[in-house]
Amino acid sequence: MAIRSAWWMREPATGRTGGESRYLNATTHHLHPHQSWPNQGSNGLAFKELERFLRENPGTHCSVCRLSYSYDASKKRAKWGRDRQARSSVELETLLLEQRPEETYCALYIVSSLSAEALQMLGFHLNITPRFFNFPYTILSTGVPVNDFVFFGLQVMERYGHNNLPTEAKRSSNSPKMTFRTKSGQSSHTWHVTRINVVFIRIPLERYAEGCAFTVAGYVVSYRLIFKRPRYNGVIVFDPADQAFVEALLALAANVEEELPGLEEHKLGLCDILTKVFYIISFTWGCFLEELEEHLDVLNQKCVEEELSPDDQLIYTRELHRLVPLFGESRRRILAVKDTIQQMLGHPFFTSVNAHQSMTAYLHKTTAALDDYKTRSLELSEQTNNLISLIFNIATLQDTRVAVEESHAANVLAASIRRVTVLTFIYLPLMLSASVFGMNVFEITEDKSNHSIWIFVVVSAVLMLFTVLTWTTWSRVTDDKQRRRDLRTSLNAGNLEA
């Protein structure tokens, strides 16, 4: 039987105090006994999250859909069918107190919204341990391996609108989230962490004696020992924002597959539900990795564009760096799903079921898919690191190109300065010579015997013509060499980028 209290975790209550929880004594709630659940003080270290939930969610609202796993005589097999739905705690209590027909083997309660009173009703009437409702912010939480019940809670990534946030994502500021790019632009939804909690409970066997006779020491003893079928209850708690999960599970439960029933086919119901829950979780992780892969493909195409500006490099680098911790978070949660499957396969609650073999075969396929997701996550993580390195390499090449162009401009300036310097070395002596020739050494008269003035004119004209021709020829040769050098540099840079 599932343990409904944790009295061994706390000191016995000696009297009511101001800080004592109101969920203590069942005798004070004889008309509504569920209000005593859990029957111990829950403020403190025992059930802190449960106490907070009961305190912060007053009212009577709820959203609970019940599925029944019943035997169909026409098809000679059992199948799941949608039974009833409760929208308030009054309807839920009526649903929980209904007598179950003999042909109904299992009942599954799919919960998408709960108030404090509705949660107490589920815990009290279905005999669920409070630890199941003490939802901590952990990737995986499971119960102890016992025969009478099994429960686990898993975190999984799911898509939500920008104004819609699951409760699990609000509980931690470090909760992973991501909005991916698509080929048509930014995605319209954001991936957040949500939680799925599952518990299965076995109802004990009922037995009584009648009818059969045998002889002991000459006396006839008549009785017959009849064992009624064991019944099972299951509760799956989804976040109010996870209506897609609820609809998917209802659709999968209504899909009757041809399976080989065992001698205890009534136990197959919860095994079937368990495989469908893990299928939904696995499918969701597959969608997450597909969008992540498309996001990286879009960034890859943008990173190799020729016109990649420094601002774009900064934007894409930041996006890629935000992806790096996301791979670790997703990989941890994928491994948690795989670990949960392994625990369920070896759990005493399932190992005694004859249908356990078919459940094992299906869950092994799910485990193989999760292994593939883990490998894909590692590959995408490596691809992300390669893109980050590519952006840094492109930035380095662009800086190198700018440095080369600046060096070319500096070389051109240096060549111009060199030309001016050479011309200065030529014209400075000429100016000195002109100054010497311009000196009035001899008296300038109209004396016919003084003919030295024409020598200055001839020498100056010849030197000027020689200087101009030399400068023109040298400039053309130097410019031609510089053009050939620039062409070789640009070709080498193009080959390096290719």
Query: Mean pLDDT, 10 residues at a time, over the chain (498 residues)?
Result: 34 36 44 73 62 88 92 75 90 88 85 93 90 88 86 94 88 90 88 95 61 48 50 92 94 70 56 92 95 91 76 84 91 95 89 71 91 94 88 79 79 79 74 66 54 68 80 82 79 63
Residue 208 pLDDT: 38
Residue 449 pLDDT: 56
Residue 211 pLDDT: 46
Residue 169 pLDDT: 92
Residue 66 pLDDT: 94
* Cβ–Cβ under 8 Å, residues 157 and 285: yes
Residue 214 pLDDT: 47
Residue 436 pLDDT: 62
Residue 28 pLDDT: 45
Q: Which amino acid is at 21?
A: S
Residue 229 pLDDT: 55
Residue 339 pLDDT: 95
Residue 350 pLDDT: 83
